[in-house]
Amino acid sequence: MSTWRVFDERAENYDRWYDENKEIFEAELNCVEETIGELGNKTCIEVGVGTGRFASKLGVIGLDISRKVLEIAKKRGVEVIRGDAGLLPFKKESVDCILLVVTLCFLENPYRVIEEIKTCLRKEGILVVCVIPADSTLGKEYSQKKGPFYSIARFYSFDELRELLKDFRIVNVKGIRIKGENDFVCLKAVKAKR
């Protein structure tokens, strides 16, 4: 089954996690906001927006392939676009900033998505990737869990993240403690000049 179909079938269950874990969500949101910094009037897209929990607070556009999660995001006031992260519907070098907030672990082909992002970002464009690292306390716990979301997730180590982002210059790394140090980490990277 395609990853996005799990989110289509269980959109409400996925969204409920944020209500049941408000404190964690608020800490993650703060981490994302501090990592991004001031966006001003830049065009910013959250790829894999899900139900719009982050995008609605950040005031960014949301893209996802799942219709069900986009319906919820739209109700939150998020401007939504239905599209595939592996084939982004944006012109070359037309976007200032792209966010992947807990999206990377659900991508079937992360290298292809990063290539698409590189193509769509303007020169010196910003990519913010927020993850639960594989070697963190939470990453180890989640990778052992069963269930519709955890069983399809793939968590990445810092070395794997650096390899994925090799064509970007990492300018900021911020992590927060949930159960252990750096259980949720945001990396801010700038598209390298060619």
- pLDDT in the model for residue 192: 81
Whether the Cβ atoms of residue 82 and residue 65 lie closer than 8 Å to each other: yes
Please write the tens of the pLDDT for every residue from 96-115: 999 999 999 988 899 999 99
Domain count within the chain:
1
The whole-number average pLDDT for the span 30-34 is 95
Report CA-CA distances (Å) from 105 to 55, 111, 139, 151, 192.
18, 12, 11, 11, 24
C-alpha 168/C-alpha 118 separation (Å) is 9
Q: What is the pLDDT of residue 188?
A: 96
Confidence of residue 157 (pLDDT cuts 50, 70, 90): very high
Q: What is the CATH number of the domain that holds 154?
A: 3.40.50.150
pLDDT, position 148: 67
pLDDT at 194: 58
Would you say residue 1 has pLDDT above 50?
Answer: no
pLDDT interval class at 175 (50, 70, 90) = very high
Angle at 114 between CA 105 and CA 156, to 5 degrees: 30
C-alpha angle 106/41/89, rounded to 5°? Answer: 40
Q: What percent of the chain has pLDDT over 90?
A: 76
Q: Give residue 81's domain range.
A: 3-191
